[in-house]
Structure 1
Amino acid sequence: MVVAETKSADGFEQEKWLDELIEEIRARHLQPEDRYEVTAILESFGWNDERARMAFGVQDVFELASLIWDKMQQSILFTPFAPIEKQKLGRLIFEIIQQFFRGMIFALPMAVSVLSMLTLKFSLWSYENLSVATATAIGIGTIASFIIVGGFTQAIARRGFFYIMLGYYNMARKMTFYFIRLGFLVCIGVCLLLYGVNVVFNLFPYAMISIAILYFFFLNTIWLSVTVYYILRKELVFTCLIVLGIFLVWLFFDVFKMSIIVSQLIALLVVSFLSLMLVAKYFSDAERKMEKGIAPQMPRISITLFSTMPYFIYGFIYFSFLFVDRVFSWSTPDSFIPYIVWFRGPYEIGLDFALLVLIVPMGISEVVVSKLIKDIYASQKGYMGTETKAMNQRFLRMYLKMSAWMAAISVVSALLLYMTAKAFFVHHPQSIGLTLFTNPTTHFVFLWGLTGYVLIASALLNAVILFSLSQPALVAKAIIPAFGVNMIVGFLATRWAHFGFGHDIGNNPGYTYAVFGLVAGGILFVWLSTRNVWKVLSELDYYMYAAS
């Protein structure tokens, strides 16, 4: 020990001995956690209350540790902050526009399909003049495809994008195609299950279940591919494939006079095949440009499945959340329905047009989340460890502003969509969209659908923030209860209306009130996801440390 004296000394000598003692403590531990760790180190050096009192005039070793701790804090070791590079205005504007269109382009196929329905009366998987039975079969196949494949798309996005960010395109390709193969196996299993259940219980005619299975299979292939385009930043290619598919439907249906079902199935087959071929090509091109070297080994499948399970669950629940109200609406026994579910055109049209309100908010969400996450990671270089509270408060304020902007933009988008649709369809009386305002049931669903999707837009902003901070469990804790409320409210609203309890709400058929489930679930989704984001940002320093 350097400090070996046990007799009291003057102030100058005590200060000198204290500095020497601090150096010895730092030799043992450069930056102790607190004064209690300093006490433990002192005691390991042989210091006790009597020795501390004689050498420094303090009451006990704890007081000596507090004295040392305070002095160490005054000369705490730190690395100078790296200056945060500020972007030039032009570059910043370009990135904002790019991010906005990247978010919006993901919803562009939906807009293309609606536009095709308005102009051509058909899209890649729908047709205005379908029989109710055929529309029911296609609807079952479409909804099932979204729900079954939703978890796989989230898993592909998570793991594929992770490896792409690291530059390991070969690993991204292997992992992506693993999930695509797994998705195909599950898809085939579901097809066999649907067919087997129908044979046993005779739920639908053979023609209906065959159409449902065919659309389900081909749409699954397309949805599995679209996620890969997103992680490879080729979103516009998928929109082009949708346009190509609609062109093929027009060619076979209008020019060659084939049936609409055969025309759409051929187009779906071509688009599915091209989607997978282009995915393989893009990965091959990316791998050739990848830096050569020793790539890390692929993780065990069990580890991959475990790490992606929260994202898989979210994808499954999210699409179930979006479509469960339609299932309850189609199965409401308030009029003649020959099968367990029966397509409700007025309800479907109202929700399909209301869904367009998400296009602009999705673009805004991409911009604001990118800005928030970039600032969070940059701020780690601009705050000291003792300033974590100030950092957390800063991002809470930023989040409040972003949430307010998202809510305002979503509401304005809903108002503009409503007014634009009304102005457009008045001058196009032959369009199917005119029923949004002439059919009371469709108009009712359209208004409440807009409300529900405005709420979902804000909830999705929260979900993306939590995903970006590696907190998928908190997203699941928000959407699972919301899904439950969606189911309960939708079921009760449609069934109570059927038995006469809902007629005081309006003169709409009972199946209309399934939309209340969407709205109620949206409210809870917003509330729980907002609470979870607030929790994370309130302790952002901890969550950033845990994520690292």
Structure 2
Amino acid sequence: MSKADYSPAVAYLEEQPASAFEQLVEAVLERRRQPEDRYEIAAILESLGWNDERAEAAFGVEDVFALADEIWDTVSQRFVSTPFELQEKLGGIRLIMEVIRSFLRGLIFALPMAISVFAMLTLRFSLWSYERLSIDFATSIAIGTILSFLTVGGFTQAIARRGFFYLSQHYYYMSRKITFYFIRVGFLACACVSVVIYLADVIFNLYPSSMFWIIVLYYFFLNSIWLSVTVMYLLRKELTFTGLIACGIAIVYLLFKIVDMPIIQAQLIAVSLVSIAGMGLAYYFFRQAEKKEEKGIAPKLTRLSVMVYGVMPYFIYGFLYFAFLYTDRVMAWSTDHAWDPDQQYMPYFLWFRGPYELGLDFALLVLMIPLGISEVVVSKMMRDLETSQKSFLGFDTQRMNDLYRSMYLKMLGVISIASLISALLVYWALIYFDDKYMIYYGKHLIADDGSHASWITWFVFYISLAAYAILSIGLMNAVILFSLSQPQFVNRALVPALAVNVLTGFLLTRWVDYSWAVIGLLLGSVMFAVLSTQNLLKVLKKLDYYLYATS
């Protein structure tokens, strides 16, 4: 029975003193602040001693359920009309500063990569690469680098997820404890992988000992660097890591150019110093942050089984993401073609292909601007979403869902335009520096003599430029889904994309040419962008549900 169905019983109820009925409502709400429905209210009334006769005598209703209907209507109106304290909207200078800050934070993620490329253009070496490195040493360093990303990719995601969970609540001690737990496990995994590749090398004689130990040393020290940089990003000390990379390159310059030490030894010393300094600074920054923590009862760490279950989707994403990025290289470097004048045979299972890698390295710069733009638009979306949860009424969820679906489509347009502009800028910059390189060093960055190697570099550059631009769309989708605590939708898009990358790259490198591995990267990026967009639209269609599930 509701007030819409006006009856003598309701009229009698309205004639009673308001205080008696209000007192009964308050008594019910003391038992249950937010009743699920009218039946729960009826049960509460019976627990308070109300029966049909008493309800009829006191309020003129037929029974307890009729009285529960009236209380439910009153309680529902209270919930709908309760005012919310809206979050203050940013405007003017504050909004501009927030946008600039978000853009720079996104841009800083790619800054170490940009510094490394700049060092290669000017000094012709960086912290772990060198233009004139022999192919066997280049192969060793490349394998160590790929293994390091594959090993710690999952741990960096777990650290970022769980460490930030405690940081957001200002539990710095707990964040440090869980972060360095994952770091220890990451080093243990590194040791286990080192043993496995040592046994594989002994059994199958994959590489000579000189190459094997370079693989292991670079693998170990780079693992340490990636783990420490995750902590710095977690504590918003990104520029510190950029400074470490610059200092590492300076150490290589000092040892290689001034002391005249062999490049491999100089880089190993620099990488080891950067990794040790990175870990030391990570621990120092955490200890400094703990001083700001309020003293009191700290929560206990989540049980290991529960924690592993919670971070496993993010761990899987970390592995899948780096596997996706390096699949095309593995396909290209494991192909043997007799018509390739630069490499007519494969001395080892994986063999570094410089022209292919050069094209990828230049194209990778295209991600800088989209990463900055992505940070801006995603931050705005999450900030608006926090406000919308307080401003939209409970029965108006569909309008909220439609609003954020429309907002996302605009974000999709913005990131697409930003990626296109970034690709054009990188292309023009490469043409410009190629001419300057010719003026200063007497040769082009990418040989234009029509050789097979120069053709491959330009071909890979063009295709990977498009691939990375498209990939930036998928990465923005991933960040949004992570912010909504829906990593499973990211992985559901990344697994098919990785499969397309592997299958296409394998077939084309075996049927056509090793440089065609980049086609697998392009098609995989398209697949990831499309599937992640579809999955995100599904989430936004039921955004209210996923927000409730997240909370």
Normalising by structure 2, what TM-score? 0.87
> 1:393 is aligned with what amino acid?
D
Distance 1:77 1:370, change over 3 A: closer
Q: Deviations along 1:415-474, whole A, 9 cap, x unmatched? A: 111112112212322466334896221111111101111111000101000111111122
Range 338-347 or range 296-305, more displaced: 296-305
Structural mapping, 1:286-325, within 5 Å: 286-325=289-328
* Alignment partner, residue 350 of structure 1: 359
Distance 1:11 1:112, change over 3 A: closer
Q: Deviations along 1:68-102, whole A, 9 cap, x unmatched? A: 97787666554212133122411221121111111
* Alignment partner, residue 472 of structure 1: 487
Contact 2:484 2:547 in 1 (8 A): yes
* Alignment partner, residue 175 of structure 1: 178
Structural mapping, 1:93-492, within 5 Å: 93-335=96-338, 336-429=345-438, 430=441, 433-435=445-447, 439-492=454-507
- In 1: Cα distance, 2:195 partner to 2:9 partner: 91
Q: Deviations along 1:24-45, whole A, 9 cap, x unmatched? A: 6886577665678789999998
SS at match of 2:399: helix
> 1:544 is aligned with what amino acid?
L
TM superposition shift of 1:184: 0.8
Q: Deviations along 1:189-211, whole A, 9 cap, x unmatched? A: 11121111101100111111111
- In 2: Cα distance, 1:363 partner to 1:191 partner: 36
* Alignment partner, residue 3 of structure 1: none
Q: Deviations along 1:135-172, whole A, 9 cap, x unmatched? A: 11111111111111101111111111111111111111
> 2:285 is aligned with what amino acid?
Y
Cα RMSD (Å) of the superposition?
2.9
> 1:476 is aligned with what amino acid?
N
Distance 1:47 1:531, change over 3 A: farther
Distance 1:300 1:126, change over 3 A: same
SS at match of 2:446: helix
Runs of 5+ in structure 2 lacking a partner? 1-6, 339-344
Contact 2:105 2:375 in 1 (8 A): yes
Distance 1:61 1:490, change over 3 A: farther
SS at match of 2:261: coil
Distance 1:523 1:39, change over 3 A: farther
Distance 1:10 1:108, change over 3 A: closer
> 1:474 is aligned with what amino acid?
F
Distance 1:80 1:321, change over 3 A: same
Contact 1:437 1:443 in 2 (8 A): no
Range 422-431 or range 479-488, more displaced: 422-431
TM superposition shift of 1:234: 0.6
> 1:539 is aligned with what amino acid?
K
TM superposition shift of 1:520: 1.3
SS at match of 2:282: helix
> 2:427 is aligned with what amino acid?
Y
The answer to whether the aligner puts 1:496 opposite 2:511 as a matched pair is yes
> 1:460 is aligned with what amino acid?
L
> 2:201 is aligned with what amino acid?
N
Q: Percent identity?
A: 53
Q: Deviations along 1:293-347, whole A, 9 cap, x unmatched? A: 2222222233222221111111011001000110001011213111111111111
TM superposition shift of 1:249: 0.7
Contact 2:125 2:131 in 1 (8 A): yes
Contact 1:459 1:530 in 2 (8 A): yes
Contact 1:157 1:227 in 2 (8 A): yes
SS at match of 2:391: coil
Distance 1:21 1:493, change over 3 A: farther
- In 2: Cα distance, 1:39 partner to 1:165 partner: 41
Normalising by structure 1, what TM-score? 0.88
Q: Deviations along 1:115-146, whole A, 9 cap, x unmatched? A: 00111110000000011111111111111111
Range 167-176 or range 235-244, more displaced: 167-176
Contact 1:350 1:436 in 2 (8 A): no
Distance 1:46 1:91, change over 3 A: same
SS at match of 2:437: coil
1:86 to 86, 89, 114: 89
- In 2: Cα distance, 1:31 partner to 1:386 partner: 16
Deviation >6 Å, runs of 4+: 19-26, 35-48, 60-72
Contact 2:374 2:476 in 1 (8 A): yes
- In 2: Cα distance, 1:144 partner to 1:381 partner: 46
- In 1: Cα distance, 2:363 partner to 2:144 partner: 21
SS at match of 1:328: helix
Residue correspondences, number:
522
- In 2: Cα distance, 1:73 partner to 1:234 partner: 48
TM superposition shift of 1:255: 0.7
Distance 1:409 1:43, change over 3 A: same
- In 2: Cα distance, 1:78 partner to 1:319 partner: 50
